[in-house]
Structure 1
Amino acid sequence: MQAGEVRVTPVSGKKALAEFVDLPFRLYAHDPNWVPPLKDEVHGLLTPSKNPWFEHAEAQLFLARRAGQVVGRISAHIDHLAFKQPIEQGMGPGTGFWGFYEAESAEIGNALLVEAEKWLRAKGMTKMIGPVSFAMWDEPGLLIEGHDHPPTVMMGFNSMAYQEWIEAAGHQKVEDLFTFALAIDQGLPELTNRIVAMGEKSGKIQIRRVNKSKFDEEAALILSILNDAWSDNWGFVPFTPAEVAYAGKKLKPIVFEDLIRIAEIDGEPVAFMMTIPDLNEQLVKYGGSLWPFNWAKLLWWLNVGKPQVTTMRVPLMGVVKKLQGTRTASQLAFMLIEYIRRDAVTKFGATRGDFGWVLSSNGPMVSVGEAVGGKVNKVYRIYEKAL
């Protein structure tokens, strides 16, 4: 590493924003377990005119330079909706965030964290939580276990060194997020199968596929269940209608009716499970860009028949709050998992499932992950520090 003073400055202008996006491509160029994100997607996430998160939030990006070279990056940001959430759920007034953390050394990483602290303190924040980039719905947490294999789509990856650097800077664990891996081609455990069979005999329960021809309506329904189901969870900040539309537009190309199910009891939608093919199996080949020909390859893969993948990821799942903690909630979860598992194996060729993330404090969902044969394969940690 070059000698010289580390300078941390705010990102301003297109050139600096491009440098912010490009840095991980240099840092992880030789790491076989890093999957290059699509640069256009990252730019969209960071651009206020494109990302409706900015309608209720504000952010400042920073770059660290040494001898003119970009050697680190970080964001400091505030979500005004988080101020309205209960303090006992980790949010509330005075909660600031940091994310998009990358650094070449502990010295650089510390300088970045200090700059984020200064910005948040100047905004009146009393604590900082991170890494959260930008929201819990995006890429939350620092990967602390599971560096030996690539993440699935919409999950992050970072250097193993960061945990020591961040903790040395005074940040303490506030929550862990788990992902579970399971071999879906082998079927579910016998006890789970019996619970599913009992549910199938019920005249009240229906597990239906989503109707993609009514995608906007179905997306709004699913996310209304999600906002209710997750409302008591640590770190919860609700989706806004604009964010629902934004997420729906991004997810629509990788949504397949066989892989998203809604559970109804006496005709009332009460639970859902969303499963998507692991797009990272394709993105790892594209180097962060769909141009000039990768867009055609991706469209062909998505639209010619059923995309054949090894892994399916379950990014979102929820049961309405009034049923949580009941046997019915577990039964619905197992039925959703089993129905989608069957189609994932027979129609998409999948052999592996990736379930999560799941809050370590969410005992019922941790139990579901374990009951279907899942094993924790990655742990992402979120830190907190008083300002």
Structure 2
Amino acid sequence: MAQLPIVIKPAQSKKDIRRFAKFPRHIYNRASPWVPPLISEQLRFMDSERNPFFEHAEVKFFLAYVEKRIVGRIAAIVNDRHNEFHDEKTGFFGLFESIEEYDVARALFDAAYDFVRERGMERLRGPMNFSTNDNCGFLIRGYETPPAIMMPYNPSYYNEFAERYGMNKIKDLYAYAVTDEEIQADKYLKVAKAVIKRGGVTVRRIDLGDFEDEIDR
């Protein structure tokens, strides 16, 4: 694989964007705990006319090819609002996926870095999909725990490739798991009931059929 030329092309057509969205299914097999997003949801997220993020940011999608086979993808991101708020010139990469071939990852990182540098950015940071309001970071530990909503899941070599490229970790993000057996539900229910009784609080289900009046109540 490494001896074959790697070609990076922007994903511009609707066909290319759909290929971009579907590519992760070639990375994760059926035995993987990775949960694929709905293609329709992913396409909506990537659509500049439907995602308000694009109102203050520029995003470019790239696909990596070896011959005619797609072997990786990446998004390059310039978030104007982030840079204005933090008074910095930082570009981001996200939606990164690659086969286990460092040369492919390097070519994708190069494409993202070149894109943000051409727009005056001084550094590349990621992964951000597309910002901290979305899922971000590489999973580096905890592969034995099934992924949850808004949590990243990726092969372990992704972080290795990023560090090999010269990236340095700037922050640890932690997630915590708890089981039903560990939650002392009875204890919290007693406290909740006492608070409701003492404060004259009433808890009931919302009537979605009368939503406007429910807001006014």
Tell me which interval the TM-score lies in, with the shorter structure as reference length: 0.7 to 0.9
The answer for the alignment partner of 1:96 in structure 2 is 91
Aligned letter for 2:40?
D
Distance 2:84 2:16 in 1: 33
Question: Relative to structure 1, is the Cα distance of residues 2 and 123 closer, same or farther in structure 2, using a 3 angstrom cutoff?
Answer: closer
Aligned letter for 1:101?
F
Contact preservation (8 Å) 2:2, 2:103? no
Deviation at 1:106, TM superposition (A): 1.1
Tell me if 1:15 matches 2:15.
yes
Question: Relative to structure 1, is the Cα distance of residues 112 and 212 closer, same or farther in structure 2, using a 3 angstrom cutoff?
Answer: farther
| Cα deviation code 1:215-260 (max 9, x no counterpart) | 9x98xxxxxxxxxxxxxxxxxxxxxxxxxxxxxxxxxxxxxxxxxx
Deviation at 1:205, TM superposition (A): 9.8
Contact preservation (8 Å) 1:33, 1:148? no
Deviation at 1:127, TM superposition (A): 2.1
Aligned letter for 1:6?
I
Note the 1:199-238 alignment, pairs <5 A: 200=195, 211=206, 213=208, 214=211
Taking only the aligned residue pairs, the percentage that are identical comes to: 30
Deviation at 1:150, TM superposition (A): 2.7
Aligned letter for 1:169?
Y
Aligned letter for 2:168?
Q
Distance 1:165 1:31 in 2: 23
The answer for the alignment partner of 1:164 in structure 2 is 160
The answer for the alignment partner of 1:55 in structure 2 is 55
Distance 2:157 2:133 in 1: 25
Between Structure 1 and Structure 2, which shows a larger proportion of strand residues?
1
The gaps in structure 2 that reach 5 residues or longer are none
Contact preservation (8 Å) 1:199, 1:205? no
TM-score by length of structure 1 reads 0.49
Higher relative contact order (CA 8 A, sep 6+): 1
Name the SS of the counterpart of 1:18 in structure 2: helix
Distance 2:80 2:144 in 1: 37
Note the 1:361-380 alignment, pairs <5 A: none
The gaps in structure 1 that reach 5 residues or longer are 219-387
The answer for the alignment partner of 1:296 in structure 2 is none
Deviation at 1:14, TM superposition (A): 1.2
Q: How many residues align?
A: 211
Contact preservation (8 Å) 1:2, 1:67? no
Distance 1:211 1:55 in 2: 34
Distance 2:197 2:88 in 1: 46
Aligned letter for 1:103?
S
Tell me if 1:131 matches 2:88.
no
Deviation at 1:13, TM superposition (A): 0.2
Name the SS of the counterpart of 1:81 in structure 2: helix
State which drifts further: 112-121 or 23-32.
23-32
| Cα deviation code 1:338-365 (max 9, x no counterpart) | xxxxxxxxxxxxxxxxxxxxxxxxxxxx
Name the SS of the counterpart of 1:75 in structure 2: strand
Aligned letter for 2:165?
A
Note the 1:280-319 alignment, pairs <5 A: none
The answer for the alignment partner of 1:269 in structure 2 is none
The answer for the alignment partner of 2:138 in structure 1 is 142
Aligned letter for 2:173?
L
TM-score by length of structure 2 reads 0.84
Question: Relative to structure 1, is the Cα distance of residues 54 and 181 closer, same or farther in structure 2, using a 3 angstrom cutoff?
Answer: same
Aligned letter for 1:83?
N
Aligned letter for 2:80?
H
Name the SS of the counterpart of 2:166 in structure 1: coil
Deviation at 1:197, TM superposition (A): 6.3
State which drifts further: 122-131 or 206-215.
206-215
Aligned letter for 1:20?
F
Tell me if 1:188 matches 2:180.
no
Contact preservation (8 Å) 1:6, 1:108? yes
Name the SS of the counterpart of 2:15 in structure 1: helix
Name the SS of the counterpart of 2:88 in structure 1: coil
Tell me if 1:179 matches 2:201.
no
